[in-house]
Structure 1
Amino acid sequence: MATMNVSLPDTMREWVDGQVKSGVYANASDYVRDLIRKDQRQRELINLALMEGEQSGVSQRKVGDIVKAAKAQLSGA
């Protein structure tokens, strides 16, 4: 396993230390590895969503209609 040194502001280091003290993570490296895994999964999901969107074809709706529908969905209407 490779070693990497990372500099963090004090507030971020305190956050990492708090995550370790919570007992969820064995040490700071375990926490950072978990963050990286989550980022990798998120990027994979975004790429899959983009590919799905590309494969879905061209929408017959106008941009304004799509925006209006998205805003209505976000507002719970």
Structure 2
Amino acid sequence: MMATIRKTITLTDKQDDWIKTQIKNGGFTNESEYIRDLVRRDQSQNAEFLATKAAIEYGFKSGISDMNVPDIMKEVEDRMRKDGRL
């Protein structure tokens, strides 16, 4: 089991009402569950951003290709077929 740490946060009345509404609507069982869900979604979004940023940096570092667009498309399709995505 993962260790837990107690945090104290300060919210506006409007933010508190929003969280209570999310719980009342059945999306979450308590405030901690809602906050943990927000953190997980933020972590996921940040991971996707960092992966995209790394891919862009790799593209810049790889230089200009001598291939034309149809050849690039064929290479992508071949790679996707090979790994089962197509």
TM-score (norm 1): 0.72
RCO (CA 8 Å, sep 6+): is it higher in 1 or 2?
1
Q: Give the unaligned 5+ runs of structure 2.
A: 65-86
Amino acid aligned to 1:39: D
CA displacement, residues 12-62 of structure 1 (integer Å, 9 cap, x when unaligned): 0000000000111010100000000000000000000000001112676xx
Match of 1:35 in 2: 38
The percent identity for this pair of structures is 28
Amino acid aligned to 1:24: G
RMSD (Å), alpha carbons: 1.4
Alpha-carbon distance in 2 for matches of 1:56, 1:3:
43
1:38 is paired with a residue of what secondary structure?
helix
**Structure 2 counterparts to residues 5-44 of structure 1, below 5 A:** 5-44=8-47
Q: Tell me the matched-pair count.
A: 60
Q: Give the unaligned 5+ runs of structure 1.
A: 61-77
Alpha-carbon distance in 1 for matches of 2:44, 2:52:
12
Amino acid aligned to 1:25: F
Q: Would you identify which runs of 4 or more consecutive aligned residues in structure 1 move more than 2 Å?
A: 57-60
Alpha-carbon distance in 2 for matches of 1:11, 1:32:
15
**Which protein shows a greater Rg?**
2
